[in-house]
Amino acid sequence: MADARDSSRIPALGRRGGGWVFIQVVLFWVLIAAGVRDKGDIDGIKLLLAVAVGTFLIVLGAVVIFRGIHGLRESVTPMPKPKPDAELVVDGIYAYVRHPIYLGVILVAFGWSVAMDSVVALIVAVVYVVFYDLKSRREEAWLREQYPQYPAYAARTKRFIPYVY
């Protein structure tokens, strides 16, 4: 249930947002299952190119995830609601995007769908974009409550794509 000070219409899904984490885990397993390649869909150079581009996106996503986790230091939590004693991080990768871990997961999802040449996995990757956009909005409502300086940070830093969105 939402706190009276909560300005978000997006549901909390638990006191600290555990329902969001549950959905995230389900989506991860759906993505993996959707990416199982049928034999013979593509071959030769197209297969090599798909695997190369997909692998690049997966590695890039993993680096972004790592940088995001490392940047949060002791503040890292799987829950969208920040820890009560956590510090607001606005430097490192967080100076460019407000949600680098979510961005990294989205990159991995698209990389997986390309590497596996799976239209179904591509659809799941698009669902990831919508899911993380909603989850980030829920998280930001909590961040605004906890950190008075968050609105200024959000005004100068894009959500997922530096200088764009």
Question: How many domains in the chain?
Answer: 1
Q: Which amino acid is at 37?
A: R
User: Does 75 map to a domain?
Assistant: yes
Instruction: Provide the whole-model pTM.
Output: 0.91
Domain containing 103: what range? 18-156
Q: Angle, nearest 10°, between helix axes 100-115 and 18-34?
A: 20
pLDDT in tens, 100-146: 999 999 999 999 999 999 999 999 999 999 999 999 999 999 999 99
Banded pLDDT at 43 (limits 50, 70, 90) = confident
Res. 10: pLDDT tops 70: yes
pLDDT in tens, 76-105: 999 999 999 999 999 999 999 999 999 999
CATH number at residue 42: 1.20.120.1630
User: Does 8 map to a domain?
Assistant: no
User: Does 4 map to a domain?
Assistant: no
Cα distance between residue 55 and residue 67, in whole Å: 18
pLDDT in tens, 13-41: 999 999 999 999 999 999 999 988 766 66
Res. 4: pLDDT tops 90: no
User: Does 135 map to a domain?
Assistant: yes
Banded pLDDT at 7 (limits 50, 70, 90) = low
Cα distance between residue 106 and residue 104, in whole Å: 5
User: Does 163 map to a domain?
Assistant: no
User: Does 9 map to a domain?
Assistant: no
User: Does 2 map to a domain?
Assistant: no
User: Does 149 map to a domain?
Assistant: yes
